[in-house]
Amino acid sequence: MSKPREELNPFEIAKRQIDRVGRRLKLDPGLIELFKTPKRELTVNFPVRMDDGNLKVFTGYRVQYNDALGPFKGGIRYHWNVSLDEVRALACWMTWKCAVMGLPFGGAKGGVICNPKEMSRGELERMTRRYASEISVIIGPEKDIPAPDVYTDAQTMAWIMDTISMSVGYAVPEVVTGKPVGIGGSLGREEATSRGLMYATREAAKRTKMNLKGASVGVQGFGNVGYNYARLMHDEIGAKIVAVSDSRGGIYNPDGLDPMKVLAFKEKTGSVQGFPGSKKVTNEELLELDVDVLAPCALENVITSENAARIKAKIVAEGANGPTTPEADDIMYERGLVVLPDILANGGGVTVSYFEWVQNMQEFFWTKREVDEKLEGQMVRSFESVWNMAQKEKVDLRMAAYMVAINRVAEAYRLRGIYP
C-alpha cells in the first residue's frame, strides 16, 4: 500500500530541498524563508452549466511562486487529485526549472479539481473559459503566462487565449503557450521536452565517455515524452531502444525496437504489450533491465530506496517530474550512476514555451530548425553550468541543479534589492 496523499505532501518535500540547498549556499535565513513562500495564491470557486442543465461548482487555483527573474510561467492541470499544496510545490519547482534553464521567467502553476475523463468537450470548454475569466485578474503576457499540463492540451490553451482576447477586445496570443500553431503556437513545441532530454543524455554521455551509437535504452512511459524521446534517440543518435512501456506494462527486445512501429501497434491495439517479437516485462522490471540509458518518462516516485540498488543503467534521464526519491538519489550517487535531474533534463518543454512567447511578443516566427538549434544551445549551456557545479562542490547533479537555480534567483534579489 502506498502512503495516503497527505503524508507525501509535495510542498513539504519542496521546502526541505530549499532548506538543504540554502544552507549549503550559506544564504541569508530570511531569503531561504522567502524561497519557501509563494508570492501570491488565488483560489476560485465558480459555477459551470453541465450538459444535463444542472449547475456544478468547481474549485481552481493559480499559485504565483516567485517572479524575481521575470513574469510567472507554468502549466494548468485538470485532475481529481489537484490540491493547493500540490500546486504550490509544482509552482516552486517551476521557479527552479526556469532558473536552471537560464530563462527570464519565474514559476507558477494552476489547476482545477475535476475529472476530465467524465466530462464532455462542451463541459470542458465552458469550465476552461470560466476558469480563465476567474484568473484573468492575475494572468497576462507581462504578468503570468500559463501552458498545458496534465489532462490539458493545445485546445485548452486556445480556449483560454480566446477568452482573454474576448475580454480585452483584441487577439492576445502571447497570454498562453502550447497553443496550436495556427493561432501562434511554436513549431517544435510538441517534441521539445523529448528533444531537450535527448540533448541532456548526449551531453552526459560525452562526459562519461559513453558511445551512444548502438547503446541500449529503456523508456518507461510511452506517451508524448517517452515516445518522442525513443524516436529521437533511435533516429538521430542511433541508439538501440530495447524496452518501452505504457500503463499496462512493457515490452523488451535485446535486438532493438522501432519506436514508430511500436506506436502504430499501440494506436491499433491500445497498448505496446503484445508487439511482435518482443518479450513481456512489467513496468517495475523495465527499470532494472541491463541497459546503458534508462529514461523514466511516466510517473513520480518510481525509483525508490527499494529498487535503487538494482538499477543497472549508467545514465538515468528523468523525462517525468519527480521519478526518483531523495533516498534513491543517494544510493545511485554512491554507486556512480549519473542521474539527470528533472528540472534540467526535461527543461526543453518550458524552454520552447519561452521561445513561443518571444515569437508572439515580436510577431515574428522561426522555422523548426531555428527552434531546435536554439533549444540545443540552451540545453548545452544549462547542462554545463550544472555539471561544473557538481564537479566543483562534489555533489550529485540534482543538488547541483538546485544550487545553480537558487543561486540565480538569490542573485536577482541581491541586484534588485528588497522594496521599498
Whole-number Å distance between alpha carbons of 295 and 345: 10
Residue 109 a catalytic site member = yes
Question: Which residues sit opposite 89 in a β-bridge?
Answer: none
Q: In what helix (H) or strand (E) does residue 338 lie, and over which residues does it extend?
A: strand 338-340
User: Which letter does DSSP use for residue 396 in this model?
Assistant: -
Tell me the three cell numbers of residue 243.
Answer: 524496452
Whole-number Å distance between alpha carbons of 232 and 199: 10
167, with CB counted inside 10 A (0-12, 13-18, 19+), is: exposed
Whole-number Å distance between alpha carbons of 87 and 77: 9
Is-contact 74 88, C-beta < 8 A? no
Whole-number Å distance between alpha carbons of 292 and 290: 7
Q: In what helix (H) or strand (E) does residue 250 lie, and over which residues does it extend?
A: strand 249-252
Rounded-to-10 torsion of CA 203, 204, 207, 211 = -90
> Does residue 420 have a cis bond before it (omega within 30 degrees)?
yes
151, with CB counted inside 10 A (0-12, 13-18, 19+), is: buried
Tell me the three cell numbers of residue 367.
Answer: 522555422
Dihedral sign, Cα of residue 396, residue 401, residue 402, residue 403: positive
Is-contact 279 252, C-beta < 8 A? yes
> How, if at all, do strands 315-317 and 72-79 pair?
unpaired
Please identify which of the residues 15, 109, 240, 266 carries the catalytic annotation.
109
Tell me the three cell numbers of residue 9.
Answer: 505532501
Amino acid at position 116, single letter: P
Is-contact 94 65, C-beta < 8 A? yes
Q: List active site positions.
A: 109
